[in-house]
Amino acid sequence: MEIIPAIDIIDGKCIRLTQGDYSQKTIYNESPLEVALQFESIGIKRLHLVDLDGARQGKLVNIDILEKISSKTNLKIDYSGGISTDEAIEQVFSCGADIASIGSIAVKNKELFSSWLQKYGAAKILLGADVKHEKIAINGWLQTTDILLFDFIRDNIDKGVTSIFCTDVSKDGLMEGPSIELYKKIKNKFPELNLIGSGGVSNREDVLLLKEIGCSGIIIGKAIYEGSITLNELKKLL
């Protein structure tokens, strides 16, 4: 299972939200590059880089951070937030992202999303399935749709999606444990899917449990920044 630290960006700074609430913001570092270099120094290979300004505004905002990190590290970067046009996804790849993480557009413009899958291939596209009460949330989690999670996953597997990351918004940033039962349901229904868990991870045991149920990766954010999982512990999990 791949360990994938998250760097969430607002105003060019490394921050974390609680339950996707932009008013509950904690700044952890003024320099996302510095954080990325720390991760790389312990052997981390992949980074989940989130432009929260972009997610809220529906356009790329902090693309310069991607460019800095990609040019000064060898990390494999999946980038999300504000990827809403052909030009935007092209810019994300040209600025150094290896994978584009797409959420809202897969809901709001299915044809465009399908065209990206065909053009770039499933290995370059990571589908984000953010959920509140098993319904899909979009626009930086600010809007909950009536789309059921399992219908959403099935529709996109049929289009060629092979990997998703699923965040239970109710768990995110609370460090009270991930949505194990939800991930079990997903793996039972879609055993072929590469499932990346996200949200709620609080300690080493959570990571091992997600591995046990078959997650191919785990995105970890606040637990690292709050010291619940130290860099030394993270290194041992690799």
Active-site annotation holder among 130, 168, 172, 206 = 130
Active-site annotation holder among 8, 51, 53, 168 = 8
Does the annotation count 158 as an active-site position?
A: no
Distance (Å, whole) CA 151 – CA 219 = 23
Q: What are phi and psi of 137, to 5 degrees?
A: -110, 145
Q: Which residues share a beta bridge with 167?
A: 130, 198
Does the annotation count 8 as an active-site position?
A: yes
Taking the chain, what is the end-to-end CA distance rounded to the nearest angstrom?
8
Burial class (CB in 10 A: 0-12, 13-18, 19+), 222: buried
Distance (Å, whole) CA 214 – CA 15 = 29
CB 50 within 8 A of CB 17: no
As annotated, the active-site residues are 8, 130
